[in-house]
Amino acid sequence: MFLERVFVFLMCLWVCQGREFVDKMDRYLIACHTTDFTCFKRQYTALRDNVILGNVKLAIDDFEPYSVQYGQDCVNIEGWTESELIGIGMDSNKKELIMALVLPVYFKQVKNDIHCSKPQQEFTNIDQYAHNGTLMDFTGNATVSVIFPFTLLKKKGEVYLKLEEEEVDALVDIPVYVSEGGVEDADAKELNQASDWAFNIVQHIKAAEDFALPFTSRIRTAFQRIPFRRLMLLYPEEDYSDLQFAFIDPIVL
């Protein structure tokens, strides 16, 4: 009798935990119709904050910013927490999911960080970008496009979107500052010095592989762990195996 009670208790606990997990997922998973781009943008933001950047329940570790070794110091390159979806498309004939993202890119020099990666090629002109001992920082912008080949996987009565290894294209824009009248004043000169420093860093890394891929691979992980119906709503005439849609934010045209 005692063992039976223990078994019943454990079964109830397992079911309750399962329901609690589903309830928590429902709080931030947004399912969208194929005609609603605004919904897809909200869906991405919710996934970004609650899944892609880390989720213990889905065994996804917290996302760590990319760091590159810069002399005796490191430069953290961040910005994914503010990324936004500006385009999305799905072609079931080609079996491709396409996403376009924009984000600010923050370059922040930090002292003696042991977790930084070595650059693709060693920096040889670090002294040229010294700034009187002050740690450098600069903000640029990035546009990232991702193509995920996919297959549909059926498991335990659910359909999952199994994303394959993605193709990534990342463009990092480092602005140049000129004061009014086209004459560089002291503020513009200081900004451009930081701009040159950030541009130098970009030239020593592979933006797609080093900066973007660690994040986009998390999108792949997130999608294939969530039932497709929790992300995509179908009209009566639609089927998961035959979806065709594409959107791009007008601001980027």
CATH of the domain at 163: 3.15.10
> What is the pLDDT, as a whole number, of residue 40?
97
pLDDT value at 253 more than 70: no
CA separation for the pair 34, 246 (Å, rounded)? 9
Structural domain contains residue 69: yes
Radius of gyration of the chain (CA): 23
Residues 203-212 as b or e (16 or more Cβ within 10 Å = b): ebbebbebbb
Structural domain count of the chain:
1
The pLDDT value given to residue 248: 94
Mean pLDDT of 81-105: 97
Looking at residue 111, the DSSP 8-state letter turns out to be: S
Band of the pLDDT at 90, cuts 50, 70, 90? Answer: very high
161 burial (CB, 10 Å; 0-12 / 13-18 / 19+) is buried
What is the model's pTM? 0.84
Task: Determine, yes or no, domain membership for 7.
Answer: no
11 found inside a domain: no
216 — phi, psi (to 5°)? -65, -30
Give Cα separations from 37 to 84, 102, 149, 207, 237 (angstroms): 13, 16, 21, 27, 19
pLDDT in tens, 35-51: 999 999 999 999 999 99
Q: Tell which residue, 91, 76, 47, has the closest CA to residue 135.
A: 76
The arithmetic mean of pLDDT across residues 225-248, rounded, is: 94
pLDDT band per the 50, 70, 90 thresholds, residue 151 = very high
Residue 128 domain-assigned (yes or no): yes
In a domain, 82, yes or no: yes
Which DSSP helix (H) or strand (E) runs through 199? helix 186-203
Structural domain range at position 37: 24-248
